[in-house]
Amino acid sequence: MPETCKKYFIKTFGCQMNIADSNRFARILDELGFTRSDSPSESDLVVVNTCVVRAKAEDKAISYIGEIERIRKSGSKVSVILAGCLVPLVNENEIKRRFPVILFSINPENVDTFRDLVLEHCKPVPDCEKISDDVIQKDSGKSSFHAFVNIMRGCEQHCTYCIVPKARGNNASRKYEDIRDEIKWRIDNGAKAITLLGQSILDYGKDWQDKKPISSIKGDDLFRDLLDRISIEFPDIWIKFLTSHSKDLLFETIDLIASRDNISKFIHLPIQSGDDGILKKMNRGHNRDDYFKLVEYINNKIPDVRLSSDIIVGFPGENLDAFEQSLDLLRRVRFFKVFTFLYSTRPSTAAARMKDDLPIEEKRARLNRLIDLQNLITLERHKELVGEKLIIMVEGPALKSEEMLMGRSLSEDIVIFNSVDFVSTGDFVRVKIIEERQRTLIGEFVDRA
């Protein structure tokens, strides 16, 4: 590779949406002849893909940009492309004044313009050989055999604590044909599993209302129709999806998930709180009983479901009773996994105007109680899997031991198992679960699947 090639580095904060966008940025930069580097200090361009969902995430992104600014001041020619959810929330001139290292910013609603913006701001790289065959290899959040596919952008749910709708804008669904073509392209380039992404994925297509751009997508629930078609059109591909709003998951969609072998039985169903009063103040659009009914239906239809959830602790007005309701909900539902968050006030959200006078120490103590309880439940759920045989896709060596391999099932069980010579990344294998751990399962290789 000639020396004139510019090097880039991408730092991603936040959710799978950002990971998917970063993958796309990487692909475009690769195509334009940039080369990836392992560190920002050796790069000419650093894309900082920011998250603002909680104040801590925003602070981390800002201090990261500060670090690059210092690298620049110490003599490097590095520039930053500011991306992600911080962009729509700040004035571009102001942030550039604060951090002159920023070359330009790209709004998450306009990621399609990334290529043009790069060409506008950076000199084209002369005589670069195209990096080709290993581009796809590196283009993935999990492994090169797994790909994220965005089916829509934005969120119009307006949960009162959440800044995402402001950062990500209104729903914008992609046409079925475009999604299908991207999946085909991904498969041609090695993908064996895909995760369909949308911030509130069950709203897929609702932005079209009467002007449906594609006659082939029909029915009263366009997400279900999409899932139905994709799972039929790509029968050999594992299909996963994120994230379902708990008020919008229809029984018919659950029936579909139950009826297809290639659709993941991992359902991430954020509830946020177990208390009716708090759910109302959060504007979640349902109460705990509705949630229990939904969970009951899911458990009946999909006995091997892996339910997971998000819970916020310390939302304004959460008293001890309300918090206990969250603990009670965890005990009753017995999720496989729960992502727990301390409430973080976000500017200009409805909840930011609510009285929030609970001391932070109390909030932290509640969070710890919740985490401790869920850890026990997760371990119990994992224990229930001991003795079962699961099919997993091998993702590579286990983090802690090179002699072990790591793989993931269609339903997101992470399994560490004994390395076998003839098995490599991307293979499907059957493993027998022999031991439970907090985050993972320990398995024994049985055969190729």
Binding mask 236-275 for ligand 5AD (x = CB under 6 A): ----------------------------------x-x---
Binding mask 94-133 for ligand 5AD (x = CB under 6 A): ----------------------------------------
C-beta closer to ligand SF4: residue 41 or 308: 308
| Burial zone of 214 (CB within 10 Å; 0-12 exposed, 13-18 middle, 19+ buried) | middle
Residue nearest to ligand 5AD (CB): 310
C-beta closer to ligand SF4: residue 157 or 411: 157
Stretch that binds ligand SF4, among 136-144, 161-169, 258-266, 437-445 (CB under 6 A): 161-169
Least distance (Å) from ligand 5AD to the CB of residue 272?
5
Stretch that binds ligand SF4, among 154-162, 231-239, 323-331, 374-382 (CB under 6 A): 154-162
Tell me the C-alpha distance between 44 and 49, whole Å.
16
Tell me the C-alpha distance between 340 and 311, whole Å.
5
Choose the contact partner of 346 out of ligand SF4, ligand 5AD, none; CB within 5 to 8 A by kind. Answer: ligand 5AD
Instruction: Dig out the tokens for 191 from the structure.
Output: 């993908």
Residues within window 339-368 making contact with ligand 5AD, judged by CB under 6 A: 341, 343-344, 346
Instruction: Dig out the tokens for 21 from the structure.
Output: 């966008």
What DSSP letter does each residue of 207-227 carry, written as one string? GGTT--S-TTS-SS-HHHHHH
Residue among 303, 304, 275, 305 nearest 291 (CA):
275
CA distances from 373 to 114, 276, 330 (A): 44, 21, 8
Candidates 51, 118, 151, 159: give the one binding ligand SF4 (CB under 6 A): 159
Least distance (Å) from ligand SF4 to the CB of residue 15?
9
Q: How far is CA 449 from the centre of its chain?
A: 27
Least distance (Å) from ligand 5AD to the CB of residue 60?
15
Q: How far is CA 440 from the centre of its chain?
A: 19
Q: How far is CA 75 from the centre of its chain?
A: 36
Contact criterion met (CB below 8 Å) for 242 and 267: no
Sign of the alpha-carbon dihedral angle for 328, 329, 333, 338: negative
What DSSP letter does each residue of 379-445 carry, written as one string? HHHHHTTTT-EEEEEEEEE-SS-TTEEEEEETT--EEEEE--TT--TT-EEEEEEEEE-SS-EEEEE
Residues within window 18-57 making contact with ligand 5AD, judged by CB under 6 A: 53-54
Binding mask 310-329 for ligand 5AD (x = CB under 6 A): x-x-----------------
Residues within window 36-55 making contact with ligand SF4, judged by CB under 6 A: none
Q: Does 81 bind ligand SF4 (CB under 6 A)?
A: no
Contact criterion met (CB below 8 Å) for 194 and 148: yes
Q: Does 230 bind ligand 5AD (CB under 6 A)?
A: no
CA distances from 243 to 53, 218, 341 (A): 15, 21, 17
Least distance (Å) from ligand 5AD to the CB of residue 442?
29
C-beta closer to ligand 5AD: residue 297 or 341: 341
Q: Could you list the residues that contact ligand 5AD (CB under 6 A)?
A: 53-54, 161-162, 270, 272, 310, 312, 341, 343-344, 346
Q: Could you list the residues that contact ligand SF4 (CB under 6 A)?
A: 155, 157-159, 162, 164-165, 199-200, 245
